[in-house]
A and B are shown apart, each in its own frame.
Chain A
């Protein structure tokens, strides 16, 4: 009685037409079917933010979205923000500031912080912390991540991103 459902959407800038099982989360679909493995499943309850993606340019927890709800929408995962040789401004600042320990929370964190950089670059530290409260990190203590947004914002204000490097 179920049956696959057709969804057309944009994934990291590309048009996708997919036949998908409706009874799965967007998180599982993106990770297991679309192979965007930067989308992590931490809690599966909307608390940790590891599964954060942009849907229509807004950070959402993909573990609380029913996969076919993406029909007609635009989804960006961490893979759509930058690459190894062309890291996004927030990714670059994370590398410079050693803002990563185990790394599990980082893709979701980068998605949220990139949104903050674009939409609230002037936010105070406490506002940044409020906006990132949906991204839990068990390792770092958040200091470097807040600093990373600051640094990326300063750099943007001073005339843009660093030259693309191969960061490895």
Chain B
């Protein structure tokens, strides 16, 4: 492991605290390459301490919650502001209703103290292969809303990641919100394997969403975390599940295909073979759970 050097204070930088999103976008445009934003700080503070980030300016967005925070339903979508913390997501009835997988994942992030700081926007922007918010969001078909001085664009969560710790943000852009279709009758679930129950990065995480009616799965999605350079949509498994028979046999087939689609590496947390096995077991278990919830098996 890399030897850490937590020498405080860390290298100096300018500290900016824009009072509105408008001011923020101006600062970003002026700041350019040498500036970074800080939200909850749970990743950025570590990067500053480790000197993996040595910015000229740190732009504090943590007090812009009025514009960039909050959970609401609007335009047929569940909208979660970038500054929403995992503690807020865990406690939200709207998330419970439309995005159960995300609620379960949020409740499992880090510790109480981390969930009170860590934001969903920061979790996505960090683009860790093991980030726990991504698989549920991908399974639920969420899109990231990105803002800059030149306007707004949205991308599907699965296309937001461009590699280990690389995201699709261009200079001057911030994550403003994630939005997912708020559909009745769609259930979703999330599970992970980790070296212990609390405060451990996921060794593997899986999220599944589906509707079940008349003995068949409707549109279904399987998403995987920590088994590839980025969180990923398991496309073939999702296709196999969609319109398939809502049976335990189908769950087993989908799980086996998901394990095939996973492209894990061996690292300090687990071997590649163990990760594939976990993908199979967790996927099967999650689909079985959705089936029994629907009274279909």
Q: Which residues of A contact B (CB under 8 A)?
A: 1-3, 5, 21-25, 28, 44-47, 49, 52, 55, 58-61, 63-66, 68-69, 71-72, 112, 130-134
Contacts and interface: CB of A to CB of B under 8 A. Distances in A.
Interface of B: 4, 6, 8-15, 17, 38, 40-42, 45-46, 48-49, 56, 58, 60, 62-63, 87, 110-114, 116-117, 197-199
Contacts of B117: 60-61, 64-65
A71 to B, nearest CB: 7
Nearest to B49: A44
B50 to A, nearest CB: 10
A132 B198 CA distance: 10
A63 B4 CA distance: 15
23 contacts: A2-B15, A22-B15, A22-B58, A28-B8, A44-B8, A44-B49, A45-B4, A49-B113, A58-B116, A59-B112, A59-B116, A60-B116, A61-B114, A61-B117, A64-B42, A66-B15, A66-B58, A71-B17, A72-B63, A130-B198, A132-B112, A134-B110, A134-B112
A44 to B, nearest CB: 5
B14 A2 contact: yes
Contacts of A68: 15, 17, 60
B114 A3 contact: no
Given A58-B116, A59-B113, A69-B60, A44 B6 contact: yes
Given A61-B114, A69-B62, A2 B45 contact: no
Contacts of A24: 8-10
A46 B15 CA distance: 22
A131 B112 contact: yes
Q: Which of A63, A66, A112 has the most CB of B within 10 A?
A: A66
Contact of B14 (A1, A130, A131, A133): A1
Contacts of A130: 198
A28 B17 CA distance: 21
A52 B113 contact: yes
A46 B112 contact: no
Contacts of B41: 64-66, 69
Contacts of A71: 17, 63
Given A1-B14, A24-B9, A60-B116, 20 more contacts: A22-B13, A22-B14, A23-B9, A23-B10, A23-B12, A24-B8, A24-B10, A28-B9, A44-B49, A46-B45, A46-B110, A55-B116, A59-B112, A61-B114, A61-B117, A64-B40, A64-B42, A64-B114, A69-B38, A69-B62
